[in-house]
Amino acid sequence: MRVAIVKYNAGNNRSVLNALERLGISATVTDEPEFLQNADKVIFPGVGEASSAMNYLKQNKLDDTIRSLTQPVLGICLGMQLLCERSEENETQCLGIVPGHVRRFANTKLKVPHMGWNTISEFNSSLFDGVTNDSYVYFVHGFYVERSSEAVATTNYGTTFAAAMNHRNFYAVQFHPEKSGSVGEQILKNFLDLQE
């Protein structure tokens, strides 16, 4: 299986590579459009700021490449947010692949960023096969994707938001499966097992 990890200026590629290696998968970190298009699975991770990440994707023509992908794609954290239409983080136009908007946490009583372990529930995807409702996963984010019909798991932190989404061949999680122990490992395995 050829697994590609999108290389851009907002990745947390090393921890994703390590998590895949624990599953016996050797992945390639690349910004080569042809390699991404020919991979069996593509992972689009991210830690960072939306507008600078989008600028990098556009400058390197990775925005059109990602939009063109037809195999299963998994966005992680910022990668999930960039798949959406728009982000309130510096009023950024995102890739527009998955319907939905990225909002700033508005509850001033909460510590932002939302950092640490929180539960996920309301599963509606084979991405969560073998995962128990209210399992804990690891989050680090200051913005969230609003809940919509594309949400296939939710989390509550002052408000209920999309912990995971699915639109056609694009899957995405707001949390970090590569840092979420056995639960995250199961979710990554489920993604790698997807047949589309």
Instruction: Indicate if the pLDDT at residue 196 is higher than 80.
Output: no
Expressed as residue numbers, the domain containing 69 is 3-193
* Structure token digits, residue 122: 């309301």
pLDDT at site 177: 98
Average pLDDT (107-128) is 95
Q: What is the largest CA-CA distance in the chain?
A: 47
Q: How many domains does the chain have?
A: 1
Q: Tally the residues of the chain.
A: 196
Whether 114 is a known active-site residue: answer no
- Residue 136's domain is classified under what CATH number? 3.40.50.880
Query: Among 32, 49, 77, 88, which one carries the catalytic annotation?
Result: 77
Average pLDDT (3-30) is 94
Q: What are the tens digits of pLDDT across the range 118-148?
A: 999 999 999 999 999 999 999 999 999 999 9
Whether 178 is a known active-site residue: answer yes
Whether 91 is a known active-site residue: answer no
Q: What are the tens digits of pLDDT across the range 31-45?
A: 999 999 999 999 999
Rounded to two decimals, the pTM is 0.97
